[in-house]
Amino acid sequence: MSIAYCNTNMRVPAGFRNLLEGLVREVLREQPTNVVTFAARYFQKLLELREADGIDPVAWGAMLED
């Protein structure tokens, strides 16, 4: 996926779209009053999951995008 920006094509890293879609889904489901704090906690939980279980949601999302 490329995004045109100032006559430059930028590539979105593999898995990034899936990662952001997961965040958006949770924000819409939870309706937090402070989205920035919610996002920080969401990504912290994903990081802890990756470190504890070896499950990397970004790598998983990259496989789904292919």
Instruction: Render pLDDT for 4-60 as a digit per residue (tens, 0 to 9).
Output: 556 677 787 878 888 898 899 999 999 999 999 999 999 999 888 888 887 777 777
DSSP 1-33: -EEEETTEEEEPPTTHHHHHHHHHHHHHHH--S
59 is written with which tokens?
């790598």
Among 19, 1, 21, CA closest to 61: 19
Closest residue by Cα to residue 66 from 20, 23, 18 = 18
Whether pTM > 0.85 for this model: the answer is no
List the chain domain ranges: 32-65
